[in-house]
């Protein structure tokens, strides 16, 4: 009985102490409650926090129209600037944030440590020309970035970095992987200035610095941008799993308010441009360039990415981006074990009562469709494309049987893997080039190499779905042998010379 009494007294004392210590908190709650009940705020039932950065693609989330439409649904919203991707997902995990705006690649990398506390509920935008690799004179193709002394600059851990990493993964620019930390800058102006001052050979920039570089730096060139390299930089809205589970109606309201606001600004384009100027602090011309580099995704775009009628499913976008991250070493393996649906919840897009809109995909107009037809080209036109090729998609030795053109089974997998990358380059054609080891009969070598190039072309058409008019085959015989390595045997050297190369060239 005595022990019970002592325990009771201790608990009572702790309770009194806790009550006293919580007094400021209770007073604040009471004051907040009074403030709500005695003002229009009493009509607000939910308070949402959206985390992101100052990217213009998130402009609708910061807009007065979006706030107004949410208030009509008894929801208040705050947009909190948080530049650090990792912190955004930590805030999502511990409840300080309800929705995160981020690119798919940053989500896959930075949310892994918190076990992916959110799900993608809709796509916000795709970079469409807003990000680009700009080079100084002398760098003509992506293959030129394979040089030993190439220097670059880009904002670290940004979409710029991921654009470069996608090109490293797709075009085999392995030498740049270990040097990326040396290329990182803290801001885009520094990257631009390094390029202008000749300190680097290339810089990855975004608008309006892209246009400024091409205008002000003599000999500069747009090597690749997100208008030609598609499906790489997607921004998405990622909602807290806890909120999706406990109150899905709030996420439904947020989704509908967002797309209603987006449609409003598509119709009121001048109002949107004015908002962009005010939000970015840029001039009218620069703000419009920035908007022109963004393809905002409508409710229709999102539904098509769910149904598969779009150029790219959301699940495929997540899988493709995951492969790039694995290829460059940002992920040790697929974090979703081949099931991208683990981080996607499409119900809010599918079940929305919003009608399908017919407006453009952004102030700059609709993006060109990724699926397209390719007209037949004459040999001279193919030759011109070869001279202006973007880079080498594949270069591998092929162990053809002597004098034969049948494609070995182990190389077929390499070809299928290369063809999967085409989804990112919808306006590019393929040029297949086959080489043989030098023999005594140059004409026979040329004929055999052409037969092998034709075999690779036919495989890509019949087995990988590449349209015939999109691909060209050319045999070069033994005219371009590889340099023999010190101590390399003659048979080993000849095996290496029997190789295939697949180039991509943008069809202009």
Q: pLDDT 10s per residue in the chain (508 long)?
A: 666 666 666 777 777 776 667 777 666 656 655 555 556 556 889 999 999 999 999 999 999 999 999 999 999 999 999 999 999 999 999 999 999 999 999 999 999 999 999 999 999 999 999 999 999 999 999 999 999 999 999 999 999 999 999 999 999 999 999 999 999 999 999 999 999 999 999 999 999 999 999 999 999 999 999 999 999 999 999 999 999 999 999 999 999 999 999 999 999 999 999 999 999 999 999 999 999 999 999 999 999 999 988 788 999 999 999 999 999 999 999 999 999 999 999 999 998 888 665 444 555 555 555 556 899 999 999 999 999 999 999 988 887 777 778 888 888 989 999 999 999 999 999 999 999 988 889 999 999 999 999 999 999 999 999 999 999 999 999 988 889 999 999 989 988 888 899 999 999 7
Q: Which residues pair with 429 in a beta bridge?
A: 505
**How many whole angstroms separate alpha carbon 158 and alpha carbon 319?**
19
Which residue do the tokens 């072309």 mark?
Answer: 457
CB count in 10 Å sphere of residue 480: 12
**How many whole angstroms separate alpha carbon 140 and alpha carbon 222?**
9
Structure tokens, 290: 């920035």
Tell if the pTM clears 0.85, that is, is over it. yes
Eight-class DSSP state of 300:
H
**How many whole angstroms separate alpha carbon 102 and alpha carbon 321?**
14
Structure tokens, 268: 């009121």
Sheet with 391-397: strands ordered across:
391-397, 499-506, 428-434, 471-475
Q: Are 374 and 429 in contact (CB under 8 A)?
A: yes
> Would you tell me the crossing angle of helices 209-216 and 284-292 to the nearest 10 degrees?
110
């Amino acid at each position: 009985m005595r022990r019970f009494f002592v325990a009771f007294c201790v608990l009572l004392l702790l309770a009194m102490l806790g009550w006293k210590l919580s007094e400021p908190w209770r007073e604040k709650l009471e004051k907040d409650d009074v403030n709500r009940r005695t003002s229009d705020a009493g009509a607000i039932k939910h308070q949402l926090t959206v985390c992101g950065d100052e990217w213009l693609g998130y402009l609708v989330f910061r807009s007065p129209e979006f706030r107004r439409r949410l208030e009509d649904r008894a929801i208040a919203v705050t947009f909190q600037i948080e530049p650090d991707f990792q912190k955004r997902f930590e805030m999502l995990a511990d409840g300080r944030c309800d929705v995160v705006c981020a690119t798919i690649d940053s989500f896959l990398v930075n949310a892994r440590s918190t076990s992916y506390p959110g799900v993608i509920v809709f796509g916000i935008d795709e970079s469409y020309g807003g990000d680009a690799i700009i080079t100084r004179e002398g760098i003509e193709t992506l293959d030129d970035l394979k040089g030993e002394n190439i220097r670059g600059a880009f904002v670290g851990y940004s979409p710029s970095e991921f654009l470069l990493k996608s090109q490293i993964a797709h075009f085999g620019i392995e030498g740049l992987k270990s040097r990326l930390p040396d290329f990182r800058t803290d801001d885009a102006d520094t990257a631009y200035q390094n390029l202008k001052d000749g300190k680097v050979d290339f810089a990855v920039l975004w608008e309006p610095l892209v246009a400024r570089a091409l205008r002000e730096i003599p000999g500069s060139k747009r090597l690749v941008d997100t208008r030609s390299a598609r499906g790489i930089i997607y921004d998405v809205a990622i909602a807290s799993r806890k909120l999706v589970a406990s109150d899905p109606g709030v996420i439904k309201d947020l989704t509908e308010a967002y797309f209603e606001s987006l449609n409003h600004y598509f119709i009121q384009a001048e109002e949107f441009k004015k908002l962009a100027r005010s939000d970015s602090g840029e001039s009218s011309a620069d703000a419009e360039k920035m908007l022109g580099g963004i393809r905002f995704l409508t409710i229709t775009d999102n539904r098509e990415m769910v149904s598969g009628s779009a150029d790219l499913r959301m699940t495929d976008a997540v899988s493709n981006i995951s492969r790039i991250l694995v290829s460059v070493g940002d992920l040790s393996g697929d974090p979703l074990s081949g099931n991208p649906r683990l981080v996607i919840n499409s119900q809010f897009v599918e079940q929305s009562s919003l009608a399908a809109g017919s407006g453009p995909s952004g102030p700059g107009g609709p993006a060109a469709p990724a699926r397209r037809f390719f007209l037949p080209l004459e040999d001279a036109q193919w030759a011109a494309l070869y001279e202006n090729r973007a880079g080498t998609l594949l270069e591998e030795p092929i162990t053809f049987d002597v004098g034969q053109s049948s494609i070995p089974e182990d190389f077929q997998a390499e070809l299928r893997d290369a063809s999967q990358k085409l989804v990112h380059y919808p306006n590019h054609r393929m040029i297949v080039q086959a080489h043989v080891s030098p023999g005594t009969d140059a004409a026979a070598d040329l004929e055999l190499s052409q037969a092998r190039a034709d075999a690779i072309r036919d495989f890509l058409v019949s087995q990988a779905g590449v349209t015939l008019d999109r691909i060209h085959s050319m045999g070069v015989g033994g005219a371009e042998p590889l340099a023999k390595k010190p101590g390399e045997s003659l048979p080993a050297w000849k095996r290496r010379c029997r190789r295939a190369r697949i180039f991509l060239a943008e069809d202009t």
